[in-house]
């Protein structure tokens, strides 16, 4: 299956995760951390990527950014990777990639999840037991947001500015927010959405993001489509149409058979029936039976002691019916073509 294109929705923040290969450290000492920050600053400037929060840990990098266009984030991450990996391999005499595949990223609904994502990024060192307090960790943007340092890499998001009217109010509000416990369910939703590349937000937001990005933004239902089971006693559509066709055919044939029976009986009644009997239809079961019955009736009348002058057609019709049903045998169709002597009932 073809890989989906990177998600991009204009002016919407994205959470980014970049993991080290096989959980190996991507940063060994302060020089590595400082070089990566310099690479990120240059790439963000060159490709117009706004960075709102960041953290560097030995085995992973997390960012909260807003790209200016569709290629902004991919080009920035590519530039950082090329420059930093080349330095790392040269310094530590190694070869190959440093990261676990491509970076993972997803679009998030800012109103609901921006401040959560910012806290998840900057509190990651505490959650990974690297430090006891977030302000004790040097390689994150937390110290900038609480007023301990000024970070030139950071572009404050409007939702951070909305925390207060002055820098002091914003810094205090953000510190108090980070002192609260993270919602584990929402945190897990954020991480899973980022790792799998699905939009994180409400139903309305996801629909809007899907239309804007012109691609699928949530996973398809798992498994095959469920079959629709018919109610007990219901006639399948195919069977119903087949039955109606059969009934239509039977309705067409039945009147023809009913019409042919009196005609056959009338032909057997008079001396001129020989001409009608010769007009037999090949491979027709009903016509053959009528001729057989007529012939059987002729023999039956000769052996029944019928008086001369009795209408042979009448006796032939009645005895033909009884003979055909009683004996269970059918006379040869060729016998019906033999010439009958008029008025005798015998050949």
CB 66, CB 50: distance < 8 Å: yes
Query: Per-residue b/e over 193-204, b at no fewer than 16 CB within 10 Å?
Result: bbeebbbbbeee
Place of tokens 């990777």: 81
Distance between CA 229 and CA 257 in Å, rounded?
42
Over the stretch 280-289, which tens digit does the pLDDT of each residue have? 444 444 444 4
Find the mean pLDDT for residues 191-218. 87
Positive or negative, the Cα torsion across 240, 245, 248, 249? negative
How does pLDDT run across 94-118, given as a tens digit for each residue? 999 999 889 999 999 999 999 999 9
238, pLDDT greater than 80: no
Q: Among 3-17, 82-96, 157-171, 178-192, whose mean pLDDT is lowest?
A: 3-17
In degrees rounded to 5, what are phi and psi of residue 320?
-65, -35
Q: Kindly tell me if the per-residue pLDDT of 266 is higher than 80.
A: no
What is the model's pLDDT at position 230?
A: 64
Distance CA 261, CA 253 (A): 13
| Separation of alpha carbons 289 and 238, rounded Å | 36
> What is the Cα–Cα distance from 206 to 204, expressed in whole angstroms?
6
Nearest residue to 314 (alpha-carbon basis) of 298, 299, 303, 329: 298
Q: What is the DSSP letter of 337?
A: G
Return all residues near 262 (Cβ < 8 A) that are at least 6 apart.
none
Residue 6 confidence class, pLDDT cut points 50, 70, 90 = confident
The string of pLDDT tens digits covering residues 26-73 is 999 999 999 999 999 999 999 999 999 999 999 999 999 999 999 999
Kindly calculate the radius of gyration of the chain based on its CA atoms and give it in whole angstroms. Answer: 47
319 pLDDT band, cuts 50/70/90, is very low
pLDDT at 146 over 60: yes
Tell me the per-residue pLDDT of 182-192, one tens digit each, with 9 for 90 and over. Answer: 999 999 999 99
Pick 62 or 250 by higher pLDDT.
62
Indicate the length of the chain as a whole number.
347
Per-domain residue ranges of the chain: 14-213, 269-347
Question: 14-213 belongs to which homologous superfamily?
Answer: Transposase IS200-like (3.30.70.1290)
């Amino acid at each position: 299956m073809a890989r989906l294109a990177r998600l991009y929705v204009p002016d919407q923040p994205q959470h980014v995760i970049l993991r080290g290969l096989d959980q190996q450290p991507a940063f060994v000492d302060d020089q590595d951390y400082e070089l990566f920050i310099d690479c990120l600053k240059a790439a963000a400037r060159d490709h117009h990527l706004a960075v709102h929060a960041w953290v560097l840990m030995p085995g992973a990098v997390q960012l909260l950014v807003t790209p200016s266009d569709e290629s902004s984030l991919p080009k920035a991450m590519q530039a950082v990777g090329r420059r930093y990996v080349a330095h790392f391999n040269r310094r530590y005499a190694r070869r190959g990639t440093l990261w676990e595949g491509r970076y993972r990223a997803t679009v998030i609904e800012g109103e609901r999840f921006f401040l959560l994502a910012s806290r998840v990024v900057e509190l990651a060192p505490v959650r990974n037991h690297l430090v006891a307090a977030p302000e004790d960790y040097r390689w994150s943007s937390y110290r900038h947001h609480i007023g301990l340092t000024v970070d030139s890499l950071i572009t404050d998001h409007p939702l951070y500015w909305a925390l207060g009217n002055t820098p002091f109010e914003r810094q205090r509000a953000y510190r108090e927010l980070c002192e609260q416990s993270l919602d584990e369910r929402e945190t897990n939703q954020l991480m899973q959405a980022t790792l799998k590349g699905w939009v994180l937000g409400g139903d309305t937001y996801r629909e809007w993001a899907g239309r804007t990005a012109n691609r699928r933004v949530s996973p398809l239902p798992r498994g095959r489509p469920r079959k629709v089971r018919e109610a007990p006693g219901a006639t399948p559509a195919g069977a119903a149409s087949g039955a109606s066709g059969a009934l239509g055919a039977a309705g067409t044939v039945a009147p023809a058979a009913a019409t042919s029976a009196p005609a056959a009986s009338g032909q057997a009644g008079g001396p001129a029936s020989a001409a009608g009997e010769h007009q037999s239809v090949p491979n027709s079961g009903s016509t053959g039976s009528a001729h057989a019955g007529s012939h059987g009736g002729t023999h039956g009348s000769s052996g029944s002691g019928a008086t001369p002058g009795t209408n042979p057609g009448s006796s032939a019709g009645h005895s033909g019916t009884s003979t055909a049903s009683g004996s269970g045998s059918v006379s040869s169709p060729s016998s019906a073509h033999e010439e009958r002597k008029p008025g005798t009932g015998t050949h």
